[in-house]
Amino acid sequence: MLHTGNRQAAIQFLKSHQNEFNSETEKDFLEELSSVFSVQDIELRPLVNSFRTRKYKVDMSDVAHLCLQQFLSKHGHIILMQIINTHVTIIKKMDVPETDTEGCEDVSIRSEVGINGYVEQPSGTGADREMRELQEAIRLIRNNAHQPLRIFAVNNAVENASSGAIPPNMDKLAVGFSTTEIRLWGINETVLIKPKYEEPSFTFASDIPFLHKFYDTSDEMIEGGAVILRGHTDIVHDLRFIPESDILLSVSSDKDMRAWRLNDYTCAAIYSGHNYPIWCMDLSVFNLYVATGSHDRTAKLWSLDRIFPLRIFAGHFLDINCVKFHPNARYLATGSADKTVRLWDKDDGNLLRVYIGAQSTIYSLAFSPDGKYLAAAGDDKSISIWDLSTNALLTELKGHEDTIMNLDWSCDGQYIASGSLDGTIRLWPTHDHVKIVNSNSSSLVPETESPQIFSTYCSSILSLRYYNKNNSLVCIGTVDNL
């Protein structure tokens, strides 16, 4: 109140609430506070100034912290978010499930591997062992009954298709082109119809004003069954659908990220901050944040209600070609042409780890669903897997004959899928490759099972992703002729 010049309001607020504080320490503080009439007075009162400069410490679990962030972001409580970031330090605690110990001789509390150390899993009770055996039997059955690989091929686009994406409900296909356009098709019996202009129901902080004045009402917007989104001025390098919304994100060599409304096919917002082309992007859990990587050697963290980046992650010596959020959304991994993978703290932007071992440019990253492992692949035609808790390189998966451009870990953690410029997709069983390296040997764990190999007959693979709906693998590629 004093900061905004509302002196009388501040005095009235103090009088209204001072009776709630009765201890001697609190009375001393109130006495000092009652003599503060300006922002300058605060700096002259040590006790009052300490409340302004120091941070409160609040214990909170990861789940509670994520729920708090989601709630504040969803309801637009920007001021509260700023107050928390400025004056509160969140001390995150591990969630420990409540266990009924009555009548039990041996009680086991499950732990997880964190970034800073390794916690060994206890053996558990007999019931726990039976459950693990049952889960292993189910896993073996699932391994012998694989979900199908779906391939969406874009015809006559070998020269200029540059990116692709499909939403989790698989009702649309978006493809970005070097011609600066984005084309949107309906799939699985979905038909896209050009709507009449309506005032937007969702507001971005960086909304483009008076957009309806420039709204295209011609029939050229739909060609060959595809809706064309125009706005970028250079190659479109990456696309992402925001789940459970009608928003499509795109990044381009024009240095901008754009948000598109799919209910009226208009550009809702433009986010500028990079100095050179943007190569890649990723969405965090709950879709609260977006990360981008660029030719300017930095990654940036965005919130869609802000026109400026929230964090800048600087440290790579060459282009950042891929970015990936950790499953718990607290960390961000970046892969670069400098042959390194770096792990960053999302909240403060600090560099936590540098993973070395790749022999060439890195183009793709994937975390295991449990967040314990990180896989990277690129120009050296192999997949490197690190243990996050020990910083150790566990294994290298080799077999592709050309650069690996796409990587994803299955939702059940059983497979790593890789897509290469050699036109093949390989499925690597993780139970054979993700193992602890023998401390008495410098060699990696030997590979005991060959991957499954699928020929896509695609000239290039634009996207390769597993989907939670049925753990199916979906590929988007380009072909010369269908």
Q: Do residues 44 and 179 share a domain?
A: no
Tell me if 170 is assigned to some domain. Answer: yes
Whether residues 55 and 162 share a domain: the answer is: no
The answer to the question of residue 316 being in a domain is yes
Q: How confident is the model at residue 247 (pLDDT cuts 50, 70, 90)?
A: very high
Most confident of 66-80, 107-121, 148-162: 148-162
Reply yes or no on whether the pLDDT at 3 is more than 70: no
Give the CATH number for residue 49.
Answer: 1.25.40.500
Q: pLDDT of 421-443, one tens digit each? A: 999 999 999 876 665 333 333 33
Distances (CA, A) of 189 to 170, 192, 418, 469: 11, 10, 29, 18
Pair (321, 413) in one structural domain? yes
The candidate with the shortest Cα–Cα distance to 435, out of 463, 468, 382, 396, is 396
Residue of 323, 313, 223, 314 whose CA lies nearest to 279: 323
Angle, CA of 467, 471 and 477, to the nearest 5° = 55
Q: Are residues 472 and 370 in the same domain?
A: yes
Q: What is the pLDDT of residues 256-311, one digit of tens each?
A: 999 999 888 999 999 999 999 999 999 998 778 999 999 999 999 999 988 889 99
The sheet that has 149-155: what strands, in order across it? 149-155, 472-479, 460-467
In a domain? residue 118: no
- Where in the sequence is the domain holding 47, given as residue range(s)? 2-92
**Quick one: average pLDDT of 138-143?**
63
**Can you tell me the distance from the alpha carbon of 240 to that of 227, in angstroms, rounded to the nearest whole number?**
16
Q: Give the pLDDT band of residue 114 (cuts 50, 70, 90).
A: very low
Predicted confidence band at 403 (pLDDT cuts at 50, 70, 90)? Answer: very high
Q: What percent of the chain has pLDDT over 70?
A: 74
Q: 256 and 329 share a domain?
A: yes
Indicate whether 298 and 426 sit together in one domain: yes
pLDDT at 107: 36
Residues 53 and 172 in one domain: no
**Has this prediction a pTM greater than 0.75?**
no
**pLDDT at 472 (0 to 100):** 85
Distance in angstroms (rounded) separating the CA atoms of residues 281 and 276: 14
Residue 349 CA to residue 299 CA, distance in Å, equals 10
Neighbouring C-beta atoms of residue 284, cutoff 10 Å: 21
Per-residue model confidence (pLDDT) at position 391: 86
Q: Has residue 64 been placed in a domain?
A: yes
Give pLDDT, residue 441.
Answer: 37
115 lies in a domain?
no
The mean pLDDT value of the chain amounts to 79
Do residue 171 and residue 44 come from a single domain?
no
pLDDT digits (tens, 9 = 90+) for 456-478: 888 889 999 998 767 789 999 99
**What per-residue confidence (pLDDT) applies to 323?**
98
Residue 119 belongs to a domain: no
| One-character DSSP codes across 245-313 | TTEEEEEETTSEEEEEETTTTEEEEEEE--SS-EEEEEE-GGG--EEEEETTSEEEEE-TT-SS-SEEE
Proportion of the chain above pLDDT 90, given as a percent: 41
Averaged pLDDT, 213-241: 74
Q: Give domain status of residue 120, yes or no.
A: no
Residue 285 lies in a domain: yes
Q: What is the mean pLDDT of residues 187-209?
A: 58
Do 82 and 192 fall into the same domain?
Answer: no
How many structural domains is the chain composed of?
Answer: 2
The pLDDT score that the predictor gives to residue 378 is 93
pLDDT score for 314:
95
